[in-house]
Amino acid sequence: MKLIEENEKRKAQLQEQYDPQTGVGCSGDRVAVGDLYLPVSLVEDCPGYGEMTTIEQDRVRVRHDFEYWCWRCVKITDKMTGRLIPFVLNRPQRRLLGEMERQRLDGKPIRIILLKARQWGGSTLVQVYIAWFQIAVFKGKNSIIVGHKRNSSFAIKNMLRTLLAGYPGEMLVEDEPLRLANMRDSTDIQEITSRDCSICLTSSYSPDAARGLNLSFAHLSEVAFWNSNRNRDPNDLIRTVTGTIPLAANTVIVMESTANGVNSFFFDEWMRAKAGKSSFKPVFVPWNEIELYQRPLDEDFDLDQCDDYERALWDKGCTLEQIYWYHEKRKEFSEHNLLKAEFPSDDKEAFEYSMKMVFTQHEQEQIVENVQPPLPVQREGFDVWQEPDRQDGRQREMEPGNWDTPFPKIGRQRRYLAVLTIGSETDERWPSVFSIWRINAGKGEVPQLVAQWSGNMALNSLALMATGKAAIYDNALLVIENNDLRADETSMQQGMFVAKEIFMKYKNLYFDHKREFVFNIDRKNYSLMFYELVLCARNGQYIDHDERAARATARMIILPNGRYCTERSEDQQFLVNRAEALYVIRDMDLKSNH
């Protein structure tokens, strides 16, 4: 009986009154004026509000009351009917707005990091909130929208077009209708006519787009999916945007995203915000705060039918109707973790279950156990597990300086492969990795790591080192991965120098299917590379003596966007290096059989 009473109490709390027309249940401090509940700021700024005409009252009220402005002036497309309807905030949107309005009314800069779960309209609210500032509150205030890719920011642009097209004419202060128009003949910068404000539309691939702009508002969308490598760092774009927006009242920066694993800039920023070390306030909306996710109880349903996890939802404040919905929804998923990824109950679930471990726990243990590394010999910064063979096949004695003595060819099938994965010259998070593998050593033997170097080195020195060490190992076939060196003009110039330096000094180079000796990762061979790595790691088809690289492989994650990564970003280059090596070895085997 107590359970039913408590459930009815919780259901009543979910049915809170909300009416943006009268102000009932709306955010901020409000006072009763007749049948209305108006913002305190409106009453203080407009003591003669009651003597105004209705349209004058509306025009004044929308400058102080965002939720009333949404109901009165904004039309959105209803997903069920496809019709334009007034924008009335749902419960999750009201919670997000409450945090933004609290900061605004306290006279603080508005800084939010939003972790989204499912489609409850978080991005829509953020952009409409910024539009309110630009259309109804201020004139001449500029904004920027940064999406993961250009199409995501242009989707927001289309939403703005709908908003302006349906804006009620009687609410316009100026006679000219509101519309979006290209500014300076650029499709990337739009202006809202008659408001003297612009909207810059860009993507995470254009970190310098905000430079030189006088900005007050920024909407940074799907930040967890922003490209992150040694040439594109989300920190650069965030720094550019925040550097152009003053730390002042009535400015807005919102970083929002769905979760994309724990190996991302967005996750790091979320954890900083939760720890109180950031100016951004964290906001997460769990599935049970979304009105849609509940179901009328079946007469046979009882909590005793649920497992411990579902019963714990009651302790978290869920109603029986919500738990019943979750219980039934779970039947659509083969694994509970998949449901947690789609409908997380807290931020921990959102991040952890948005990624998928490639290997099972047992496979992870086997990959690491298979390493059993012998103690390597250090040779000028290299870890050496096996020296080059002598011509007579006997192991060469460890002796100082043997790296400096080119070893002659021995007239048999190629026996060594050298793989250079180029990283940053200075950034320790993106080291270059150079590995040497013994291949075709004998029938039934698998490729084996024999030497490795990792670190940061100037590109010209890196080129000389790679060719010199590859020569020692029987003029090993040298593979050079060069993708990041094509990211910008400076990198391309450096890449051309390295390519020329290597091509002039070393002839035994791997040529890809395009007949380029520099190995470029595209969408197709990226998938094949990691398929080969997963297959070989799962079946023990190569020997890796580096425990750090083996652990990175064992804990490999595949993200919703199909990208493979490690739990620690600083180990990512080892993962790529292994995938490249095994891909080339398989490619060599295929070519030798044809």
Using one digit for the tens of pLDDT, what is the confidence trace for 563-594? 888 877 778 889 999 999 999 988 877 666 54
> From CA 423, how far away is CA 482, in angstroms rounded?
9
Mean of the pLDDT values across residues 209-223?
83
326: pLDDT strictly greater than 90 = yes
Distance, in Å, from the CA atom of 22 to the CA atom of 272, rounded to the nearest integer, reads 39
Phi, psi at residue 139, to the nearest 5°?
-125, 140
How high is the pLDDT of residue 158?
80
2 C-beta neighbours (distance < 10 Å), count = 6
User: pLDDT value at position 324?
Assistant: 93
Q: Which of 161, 163, 156, 99 is nearest to 127 (CA)?
A: 156
Distance between CA atoms of residues 362 and 345, nearest Å? 28
The mean pLDDT of the chain is: 83
The SS3 call for residue 255 is strand
Compute the average pLDDT of residues 15-30.
92
CB 76 within 8 A of CB 7: no
Of 90-104, 240-254, 279-293, 423-437, least confident by mean pLDDT is: 423-437
Tell which residue, 359, 350, 150, has the closest CA to residue 264.
350
Could you tell me the two tokens for 226?
């922003």
DSSP secondary structure string, 18-51? -BTTTTBT-SS-EEEETTEEEEHHHHHH-TTGGG
Domains of the chain: 2-285 (3.40.50.300), 303-354 (no CATH), 357-592 (3.30.420.240)
Task: Quote the CA–CA distance of 122 and 112 in Å, as a whole number.
Answer: 12
Mapped onto helix, strand or coil, the DSSP state of residue 179 is coil
Compute the half-sphere exposure of residue 384: CA atoms within 13 Å on the CB side of its CA.
19
Asked if 199 contacts 131 with a C-beta cutoff of 8 angstroms, the reply is no
| Helix and strand numbers, DSSP H then E, in the chain | 19, 22
Q: For position 328, what pLDDT does the model report? A: 92
Q: What pLDDT shows up at residue 112?
A: 97
User: Is 464 in contact with 501 (CB distance < 8 Å)?
Assistant: yes
Using DSSP bridges, classify how beta strands 557-558 and 564-565 pair: parallel, antiparallel or unpaired. antiparallel
pLDDT of residue 304: 84
Query: Rounded to an integer, what is the distance from CA 234 to the centroid of its chain?
Result: 9
Q: Which one has a higher pLDDT value, 561 or 464?
A: 464
Long-range contacts, stretch 398-405, CB < 8 angstroms, 24+ apart: 402/472, 403/379, 403/468, 403/469, 403/472, 405/472
- Give tens-digit pLDDT for 385-415: 777 654 444 434 333 323 323 334 444 455 8
> For residue 489, what pLDDT is reported?
53
Burial of 472 (0-12, 13-18, 19+ CB in 10 A): buried
List, for residues 139-195, the tens digit of each pLDDT value.
999 999 888 766 666 677 788 888 888 889 888 877 778 888 777 666 678 888 888
Tell me: pLDDT of 545 over 80.
yes
**pLDDT single digits (tens) 361-374:** 889 888 988 886 66
| pLDDT in the model for residue 419 | 93
- Cα→Cα distances 551→100, 430, 557, Å: 42, 17, 12
Residue recorded with tokens 């003595």: 405
Distance from C-alpha of 430 to C-alpha of 436, rounded to nearest angstrom: 19
pLDDT category at 278 given cuts 50, 70, 90 is: very high
Give the count of beta carbons closer than 10 Å to the beta carbon of residue 524.
9
Nearest to 464 by CA among 512, 505, 515: 505
Nearest CA among 448, 485, 447 for reference residue 463: 485
Tell me the pTM.
0.74
Q: Are 470 and 388 in contact (CB under 8 A)?
A: no
pLDDT at 412: 45
Residues 42-61: tens digit of each pLDDT: 999 988 888 899 999 999 99
Q: Which two tokens stand for residue 543?
A: 């020997």
